Amino acid sequence: MQKRRLIYLDNNSTTPCDPRVVDAMLPYFYEMHGNAASRSHQFGWEAEDAVDYAREQIAQLLKSEDKEVIFTSGATESNNLALKGVYEMYAKKGNHIITTEIEHKAILDTCKHLEKQGAEVTYLKVQEDGMVNLADLEAAIKPSTILVSIMWANNETGVVQPMKAIAEICEKHGVLFHSDATQAVGKIPTYPRELGIHLMSFTAHKMYGPKGVGALYVSRKNPRVKVTAQMDGGGHERGMRSGTLNVPGIVGFGKAAEIARLEMQQDAERLSKLRDRLEATLTKLEETKVNGNVDNRMPHVTNISFKHVEGEGLMMTFNQNIAVSSGSACTSASLEPSYVLVGMGLGDDLAHSSIRFSLGRFTTDEEVDDAVALVANGVNHMRDLSPIWEMYKDGVDLTKIEWSAH
């Protein structure tokens, strides 16, 4: 009997490399293996040309200048460079940073680090649909505010924030605007210059490129933004990020950006139809809830809570067959309920019962249908075993029950 292929619906945690990306990268591992900083021979020139071309491909995807793209090892490093780099560079102007409670840990933990250095950080609560309240944002800005950092699309719910409106508030108050756009770039149009975003972090491996390479967009005009380097060395990347460039990775990143620019729209149209089908079928089950604003979200993501079913336990019923995630992949080793969902006002019970489905370029119709059947069976199985579900079905008001600790 042939082994079932695992159905991969965890594309928000990482995506498989597109074969076209791998093909573009291969020559740079051996035939053209030069260091892009070696200016004295052919191997170095080839590597430098390859990096320049990739930078152009990425800039075209963003409708930015190629010199505004700074290569890093990934979005976590880009986020660190943006926040720490701005905090140090603009220290004379102020020490106040505004972000949200539902950012990725790469932002939240960097902010916690900066607080120890003397930064004042405001963590905005979000509304029940996961959207930032613009009035709260504007009210939080004060004379010492130097930076607002708000993610473009949430990694757990796919909710997309009102970037243009946020940028307009920042411009009105003369504050820099950074966005962690890791989940958005390559999937939906992300044009920082058009919207008024001054710094933007993203990575290759969320858009069918290789792991270990990312970028930070840094505006070069109106305003010209500067960040203090966090990695010291040979002054690579216009002094903002030293270190020998990952040439094969950068070549792959460039190719992934080019493919995204050309195919993103058709990918999004296909995946949103697939996602809607998955969602429509699963929400026919009793007591299910889609988390987050369904009108402003990524085309390929849905986060669904199955009431009175523990998410990790539910995944055990089908995880030999489907790869999905409960909560954020980067923190999935902990059994705490998702801080993103709790931050949106979900109770621990619903936050614990949520599953994130994130579809991708290589997801097929058949895989979605199979996944829906397996998840529905798992939910029904878990509920059949659950005394709490039985009490709920019998009409017991579970909020009134006092559970004994013994």
| Domain count within the chain | 2
Last residue of a domain, one of 259, 287, 312: 259
Q: Check whether residue 51 and residue 199 sit in a common domain.
A: yes
- Res 324: pLDDT: 94
Question: How does 281-295 read in b/e, with b if 16+ C-beta sit within 10 Å?
Answer: bbeebebbebbbbee
In angstroms, the CA 381 to CA 360 distance is 28
| pLDDT tens for each residue of the chain, 406 residues long | 455 679 999 999 999 999 999 999 999 999 999 999 999 999 999 999 999 999 999 999 999 999 999 999 999 999 999 999 999 999 999 999 999 999 999 999 999 999 999 999 999 999 999 999 999 999 999 999 999 999 999 999 999 999 999 999 999 999 999 999 999 999 999 999 999 999 999 999 999 999 999 999 999 999 999 999 999 999 999 999 999 999 999 999 999 999 999 999 999 999 999 999 999 999 999 999 999 999 999 999 999 999 988 888 888 888 789 999 985 444 445 567 899 999 999 988 888 899 999 999 999 999 999 999 999 999 999 999 888 888 888 888 767 666 555 5
Q: Check whether residue 93 and residue 160 sit in a common domain.
A: yes
Assigned domain for 403 exists: no
Among residues 17, 111, 170, 330, the one annotated as catalytic is 330
- Res 334: pLDDT: 55
Assigned domain for 37 exists: yes
One-letter amino acid of 253: F
Phi, psi of 388 (to 5 degrees): -65, -40
Output the domain CATH number for residue 107.
3.40.640.10
> Angle at the Cα of 274 (from 370 to 184), degrees rounded to 5?
120
Query: Please, are residues 291 and 341 in contact by the beta-carbon 8 Å criterion?
Result: yes
> What is the DSSP-derived secondary structure letter of residue 295?
S
Cα 61 off chain centre by: 17
- Res 227: pLDDT: 97
- Res 377: pLDDT: 94
Q: Check whether residue 301 and residue 221 sit in a common domain.
A: no
- Res 331: pLDDT: 47
Q: Check whether residue 246 and residue 216 sit in a common domain.
A: yes
Q: Check whether residue 325 and residue 368 sit in a common domain.
A: yes
Last residue of a domain, one of 259, 294, 312: 259
Q: Check whether residue 249 and residue 362 sit in a common domain.
A: no
**Ramachandran sector of residue 249 (left: φ over 0; alpha: ψ -120 to 50; beta: rest):** alpha
Q: Check whether residue 131 and residue 269 sit in a common domain.
A: no
Last residue of a domain, one of 259, 275, 295: 259
* Domain extent at residue 385: 7-12+264-396
- Res 401: pLDDT: 66
Q: Which two tokens stand for residue 190?
A: 């992300």
Assigned domain for 56 exists: yes
- Res 406: pLDDT: 54
- Alpha-helical segments (H) within 146-190: 163-172
Assigned domain for 2 exists: no
Phi, psi of 71 (to 5 degrees): -80, 140
- Res 1: pLDDT: 44
Q: Check whether residue 240 and residue 269 sit in a common domain.
A: no
Q: Check whether residue 246 and residue 328 sit in a common domain.
A: no
> Does the active-site annotation cover 111?
no
Q: Check whether residue 61 and residue 193 sit in a common domain.
A: yes
Q: Check whether residue 268 and residue 254 sit in a common domain.
A: no
Q: Check whether residue 208 and residue 339 sit in a common domain.
A: no
Assigned domain for 85 exists: yes
Query: Please, are residues 177 and 146 in contact by the beta-carbon 8 Å criterion?
Result: no
- Res 332: pLDDT: 47
Assigned domain for 75 exists: yes
Please report where in the chains the tokens 């002054």 appear, as a residue: 235
Assigned domain for 404 exists: no
In angstroms, the CA 86 to CA 234 distance is 21
In angstroms, the CA 271 to CA 386 distance is 34
- The three-state (H, E, C) secondary structure of 124-137, written as one string: ECECCCCCECHHHH
pTM of the entire structure? 0.94
- The three-state (H, E, C) secondary structure of 75-102, written as one string: HHHHHHHHHHHHHHHCCCCCCEEEEECC
Output the domain CATH number for residue 274.
3.90.1150.10
- Res 328: pLDDT: 40
Q: Kindly tell me the burial class for residue 239, based on how many C-beta atoms sit within 10 Å of its own C-beta (0-12, 13-18, 19 or more).
A: middle
